[in-house]
Amino acid sequence: MPASPIPLSPLCQLPAGSTGRVCELTGDDSFCQRVREMGFGEAALVTKISGSSTSLCLVNGTRIALNHRAAMSILVEQLPASAH
């Protein structure tokens, strides 16, 4: 039986306090490169601290602020609380 596709959501929709895994970057090349260079690339774990319009996240122990457009361009898979 084929595995069901992982439901992805933009980072801005990740609830505050939850953790997700970055699965896809959809912005322009320049943005994707910078995000990856900051350690925010595919497979990175990201914890949302707060925000819906502007998001505040924790990636590798660093607090990163992203505006709505940037957070919309990062698609994450929400991880269950037990998997953090």
Partner 1 sequence: MKLPAHIALPGRRRPTPGSDRTPVYAMVGNPNCGKTTLFNALTGLRQKVGNYPGVTVEKKIGVTYSQHGRPIQIIDLPGAYSLAARSPDEAVLRDVLLGRRADTPQPDRIICVVDAANLERNLYLVHQILDLGRPVIIALNMMDMAAAAGMKVDAAELEGELGVPVIACEAVHGRGLVELKLALSRLELPLARHRWDVPVPIAPAVAEIQASLADNDARTPLIARAEALLLLTDFDTVRVAGSKPLSARTHELLSQWRQRWVQEGTDWSAVLIRSRYDAINLLCKDVIRRPRETGPSRSDRIDAVLCHSVWGWAFFAVIMGALFYSIFSLAESPMNFIDEHVAAFGAWVKGAMAPGDLRDLLTDGVISGVGGIVIFLPQILILFFFVGLLESTGYMARAAFIMDRPMSRVGLNGRSFIPLLGAYACAIPAIMATRTIENARDRLVTILVAPLMSCSARLPVYLLMIATLLPGDVVPATTKAGIMLTMYALGTGGVFFFAWLFQRTLFPAAPQHMIMELPPYQPPRFKEILRHMVERGWMFLKNAGTIILGISIVLWFLTTYPKHPDPHATPTAQIAQSFAGQAGHLIEPVIKPLGFDWRIGIGLITSFAAREVFVSSMGVIFGVEGANDDTTPLRDALRGAHWPDGAALFTPLVCIVLMVFYVFAMQCMSTVAVVKRETNSWRWPLFQLAYMTGTAWLVCLVLYQAGRALGY
- Return residues touching partner 1 (CB under 8 A): 27-42, 49-54, 56, 58, 60-70, 73
CB of 47 to partner 1, least distance (A): 9
* Ramachandran angles phi, psi of 83, nearest 5°: -90, 0
CB of 50 to partner 1, least distance (A): 6
Q: Which is nearer to partner 1, 6 or 67 (CB)?
A: 67
Q: Which helix (H) or strand (E) holds 33?
A: helix 29-37
Task: For partner 1, give the closer residue by CB, 40 or 75.
Answer: 40
Q: Is 11 helix (H, G, I), strand (E, B) or coil?
A: helix
CA angle 35, 36, 42 (to 5 degrees): 110
